[in-house]
Structure formats: C-alpha cells, structure tokens
Amino acid sequence: MAPTNTNKTRLSTFQSEIEEIHHREVAKQRAHMAAAVLVPATAKDTKKDVKGKMKDVVETIEKSGKPVESKDMNGKSKDETSAGTQSDTSEMQERIMSWLLANSTTERDNARDILATLITQNHGEYVLRIGVQPPREKLFANELVEDAEEEGWTGIERTIEQLDYLRNQIANVVEEIGGKTCVLFESKGNHPRTSILLRLPPASVALTPEVRCAVVGNVDSGKSTTLGVLTRGALDDGRGRARVGLFRHKHEIETGRTSSVGMEILGFDPAGKPILPDTAGSTDPEVIRREKLGWEEISVQAAKIVSFIDLAGHEKYLKTTLYGLTSGAPSCVVLIVGANAGLIGMSKEHLSIALALSVPIVVCVTKIDMTPVNVMAETIKQVVKVLKSPGCRKMPVFVKSAETAVEAAMTFGKDRSCPIFQVSNVTGEGLDYLRTFLNLLPSSEADTDKFAPDQPLEFSITEVWSVPYVGTVVNGIVNSGRISKGDPVILGPDSNGNYQTTSVKDMQRKRATVTAMRVCSTETKVPPPKAVRQFEGQVLILYHNTTLQRNYQAMLHCGAVRQTVRIVSMDHPQGILRTGDRATVQFEFISHPEFVKEGMKLLFREGKTKGLGVITKLL
C-alpha cells in the first residue's frame, strides 16, 4: 500500500493562505519603507529611535502573522468601518433628504456641503438613493415583489411628488458645486424609489478615475465583438462587423481571432452617459471605423474611464493572456461565454487563473439572440454549477434590471456575488445593464491594497518600444507614488541586474498629454531597488501529468515579470511534486535577475497553468 501524501492541499485553503501571506508581506514592506523615510518628530527623537519603533511594528506583524489593521479617521479598523458603512450611509442620506424637504436656506446649504463631502471622499462620484430600498437577497434572486406586506424593505417611504421634488433639488444642489447628476433607476410603483449618480468632472486627465477590466473567454465566444459594440456604440451585424476595428494585425482580420493584448477604452461623461462616436445610425463598416473617437478625445471629455484589456482566447496564445492578467492589475475579469457553446475550452482555464489571482469575476453570456432556448438553458445551468462549485464558491446574480445592475456594482468585490449578464450584440439586449454596471465600478486607484498611498514611486513597465526621433517609450502602471515631467528616475533591472538613472521627457495618459501622474503625492528618499536571481515561494501544483523534480523549468508569470525559471530545491519529503502537492520551492531565473517582492503572487506553466504560489523570501 502506497504511503499517504500529507502535503495534499485544497485549492480554496491554499488561496486563503497566500492571501494572508500577501497582505502580511505588503504590510511589512510598507512599515520598512516608512522607517526609511521617517523624520524625527521632535528634537528628542533620533533617527535610531524612530527606526527602532518601526522595527517593533514590523516584528509585531511577523509574530502575529497578520497585517497591521488600517484605521479610518475615527480610529476604527476597516472591518469595523465596513460593518457600519451601510447603516451610516442610509442614515446620512435620509438626513440629506430631510434637510432638502424642509425648504430652508440654511438646511439646504447643509445638504449641499454634505453632498460635496460625500462626492469628494468617494473619488468624485456618489450614488444617492431616495425612498425605501428592497431586500438585497430578493433583488439578487429576481424574486422581488413590491408588496406592502413584504418584510426586509429599509429606509423611509416617499411619495411620487416627494421623489420628483428631491430629484430636482439634488440636481440643482450638485450643479452649484460644479457636478452633474444622472438617474440610474427609478420606480413609481407601490414603493417609489430612485438611485441617482452624482459626479464631479476631474480637474485634469491625470486625475480621471480608471477601472481596468480584463476580458477573457474561449475562442469565438464574442470577446472582441462585445468590446466593439460597447466602445463604438454601433451594433453588430451577426458576422463580426463590430470587432474588425479592434484588430491590430493583418492575420487577426483574416482569421477573426485576437492574438495580442489589445486595449480599448470606454469613457463616461460627468452626466453618466457613455462617450461614443456619432455614426448617425450608419451600418457601413467603413463609416463606423472612420468615425471612431481617438483616446485623447475620449480622455478629455471623460469623468471616468473603463479600460478593457482584450485578451486572446486561443490556447496557443495562453502566454499572452496570462501576461495580460498578471501585468495589467485588473480590477475585475469579464469572462465572456458564448450561449451557443457554453463554458468550454480555455474559458475554464481563464476562470481558474482569475480565481487564483483573487480578481473579482463578471460573467457575460453572449449570442442570446441566435441560441435555441434549450441550449441557452443548458449553458446557464452549466455556468451556475461551475460558479457554485467548491473551487469557485461564488453566488450567481443574474442582472435583469437597472436596479440590480446598480446594486451589483455597489457591492461588487465586497462579497462572493458574481454578476451574470445576458447580452446580444446584434439586438442590443442587456447592453445597457452592462454599461450601467461598468459605469459604477469603483476605480482601480481606490484599491489601497494594490496601489499604496504615501509610498515612493513604483512604476511597473509592461511594454517598451522605440519611436524614431523621440527615443525609448515605456508603457505601464503607477503602483505608488508620484511622477512628473522632468523627474529623475531609476530604470531597470537590465540583463546584469543593474539600474540606470534617466529622466522623464514627456508623459501621456490614454494618449493625452499630462504633466504628472500619481497614486498619491509623496516626497521620499529610499534605498535603490535590488534585482534578484533566486527566490523562495509557497506553491501548489494545480495540474501535471507526471512529476516535477529539481531542475524542472517552466515559464513564470509574476506581475510584469515573464521569464523562464528552474526549480533549485524543494522541501517535499519525496523530492518530487505531483498534482495537488504543496511545497516550499526555491526558484532561479534562467536569463537575468528580476525585480520581485515578497508577497507577490506567481503562476508558472508549461503549456497550460501548472502551479500557483506566492513569494515568501528573496535570496
């Protein structure tokens, strides 16, 4: 009888553990960085004293195994703050309604000041609800019945007359502070209620909130067509007309399949309307392609930008898709599923990668206009089954109304819910709900776990190219800090692991010229970064048909790093790894040193994805 392998680990358990490791290491790094840049507060404090205090903080983190809790302005932890957020928000909104209904100049000014504060604190936009709100469980289950006897409704009942009055008053008040309003949803049934978007235009393109969405799915599922319809406005003809304008290479146009990492943007103006080209209802493909708006035109008009990373669906382009998912730092993954084919091929691989990276997921079922009812029902059944499986642990939410779209966007990423949209790119069915959802997603910059406030500059380079008579141009993401035109920067590492000093000559965001880019404003001096050749990580083997041994080589994806690594050693008792095994593995980069950090998540593959892990030690 073969010995039992005690290193077998469930994926869900391992994912929870690497999340804890990730958060702990990020907290340690931020504490170390704070120690490096702190200046003594008083004459009595010495730099040694300050660093000693910060060392104590780091040691506390290491011993407890938990990150330092973030505190709000009132000294509450994030958990305490989020627990009371919903009730506090409802109370504040009702107070604003009462002030506006009082028809007093003083109380109207109070309402205006509070609204201005709420909009500013929420990165330039805020959703205001008027009237009683339905129970979320009923709304998400599409079981909502507007019956006066039904329990679970919250808030204060308003009449239709009060609803109209408040909506007009709010529009006037927000306009006074330079903003715009947009009615997202309104019902005048048994429970009159409405949801209104309040939004301030950004001061410059550099400050425009951005949401990054990675679009994945099997080949021929409708990814590029969906993006073409969303960003161009014109519907598809059922033969791929909408997707042609998105292709970057001749072979893509000939085959109709994406092979590279494409980028498309959808802008929303301060009034919440999508910024689309005026094709005057033309069905001519050439007119549609010719009349498309440039990125710089969209950027200067937009109060919010949704950036779509269009990734390849074919198996032979998996390395490109993986690189887009790891380097693009997406806020969500939009999984496109063709209703006529179901969740097949690379769709499951893409879903597993998104789950491994702990990125929130949105499912978009396309081609509902051409799919027979029985096939459609089978596809939906399959999607629900996969989402509810132990590996996913998601709660499917079918978005079939504007109200559900608003609520799904407001709670997205905060629970296990997974919105499911059913759309037709030919008839336009369901597209408005999808646009509403995208319009309300929180900006990527607002995620302080990924983009650190009050930290030195870190710019992750994803693309490099040379422009004649201009020089080297780099594309990437500002992970932390501030960068301005003319600033000196350290660029690297090169093939020897060294860094070169250079300066920023010019800057653009979405092809619009800017003078500065920031996650936050900070003035710091920190030790130069170091590149490493070897590192250690906790890994879980997702799938391998034989065994992984010492000197095994695979392609590693870790942030913007994509390089072949070899296994130097492992702590597995048998010295080999099989499917489901977990171990501490020492890796070595084959080509050249790279800049990686403890706590970064990693994927390695040979063909399809083989392993998942997190960096625990730099060597």
What does the pLDDT look like over 438-475, one tens digit per residue? 999 988 877 777 777 677 888 888 888 888 888 888 88
Q: Which of 538, 551, 560, 543 is nearest to 606 (CA)?
A: 543
Q: Are 213 and 308 spatial neighbours (Cβ–Cβ below 8 Å)?
A: yes
The yes-or-no verdict on residue 421 having pLDDT over 90 is: yes
The yes-or-no verdict on residue 55 having pLDDT over 70 is: no
Question: What is the spatial distance between Cα 594 and Cα 458, in angstroms, rounded to a whole number?
Answer: 14
pLDDT value of position 35: 67
pLDDT value of position 14: 81
Beta strands in 270-311 (DSSP E): 274-275, 304-310
Three-state DSSP at 11 gives helix
Highest mean pLDDT among 93-107, 228-242, 310-324: 93-107
pLDDT tens, position by position, 392-410 = 889 999 999 999 999 999 9
Average pLDDT in the 89-109 region?
87
pLDDT value of position 186: 92
The yes-or-no verdict on residue 319 having pLDDT over 70 is: yes
pLDDT value of position 80: 43
Question: What is the spatial distance between Cα 204 and Cα 453, in angstroms, rounded to a whole number?
Answer: 20
Residue 520 pLDDT class (50, 70, 90 cuts): low
Q: Which of 241, 356, 258 is nearest to 611 (CA)?
A: 356
Residue 44 pLDDT class (50, 70, 90 cuts): very low
The yes-or-no verdict on residue 142 having pLDDT over 60 is: yes
Of 317-321, 345-349, 551-555, 614-618, the poorest mean pLDDT is in 317-321
Domains and CATH numbers, the chain: 78-199 (no CATH), 205-446 (3.40.50.300), 458-518 (no CATH), 534-618 (2.40.30.10)
Instruction: Give this prediction's pTM.
Output: 0.84
DSSP H or E stretch at residue 338? strand 332-338
Average pLDDT in the 521-534 region?
70
The yes-or-no verdict on residue 67 having pLDDT over 80 is: no
DSSP H or E stretch at residue 234? none
pLDDT value of position 248: 54
Number of H helices, E strands in the chain: 15, 25
pLDDT tens, position by position, 170-188 = 999 999 999 999 999 999 8
Q: Are strands 417-422 and 395-398 parallel, antiparallel or unpaired?
A: parallel
Average pLDDT in the 337-362 region?
87
Question: What is the spatial distance between Cα 210 and Cα 302, in angstroms, rounded to a whole number?
Answer: 10
Contacts of the segment 243-247: beta carbons below 8 A, 24+ positions apart: 244/285, 244/289, 245/288, 245/289, 245/292, 246/310
Question: What is the spatial distance between Cα 222 and Cα 313, in angstroms, rounded to a whole number?
Answer: 10
Q: How far is CA 128 from CA 157, 171, 414, 559, in A?
A: 15, 11, 19, 37
Of 5-9, 124-128, 423-427, 466-470, the poorest mean pLDDT is in 5-9
Tokens of 471: 């020089």
Cβ neighbours around 494 below 10 Å, total: 12
The yes-or-no verdict on residue 84 having pLDDT over 50 is: no
Q: How far is CA 129 from CA 102, 142, 192, 193, 238, in A?
A: 18, 20, 11, 7, 39
pLDDT value of position 591: 93
SS3 of 98-130: the string is HHHHCCCHHHHHHHHHHHHHHHHHCCCEEEEEE
The yes-or-no verdict on residue 589 having pLDDT over 80 is: yes
Q: Are 17 and 538 spatial neighbours (Cβ–Cβ below 8 Å)?
A: yes
Burial 453-489 (b: 16+ CB within 10 A, else e): ebbbbbbbebeeeeeeeeeeeeeebbbbbbbeeeeee
Q: Which of 613, 528, 525 is nearest to 567 (CA)?
A: 613
pLDDT value of position 563: 92
pLDDT value of position 39: 46
Per the prediction, the chain carries an average pLDDT of: 81
The yes-or-no verdict on residue 479 having pLDDT over 60 is: yes
pLDDT value of position 286: 61
Residue 566 half-sphere exposure toward CB, CA atoms < 13 A: 7
Residue 261 pLDDT class (50, 70, 90 cuts): low
pLDDT value of position 6: 44
pLDDT value of position 18: 85
Q: How far is CA 293 from CA 231, 297, 484, in A?
A: 9, 6, 27
Higher pLDDT, 142 or 333: 333
pLDDT value of position 362: 95
Q: Are strands 210-217 and 332-338 parallel, antiparallel or unpaired?
A: parallel
Question: What is the spatial distance between Cα 122 and Cα 62, in angstroms, rounded to a whole number?
Answer: 33
pLDDT value of position 552: 92
pLDDT value of position 218: 86
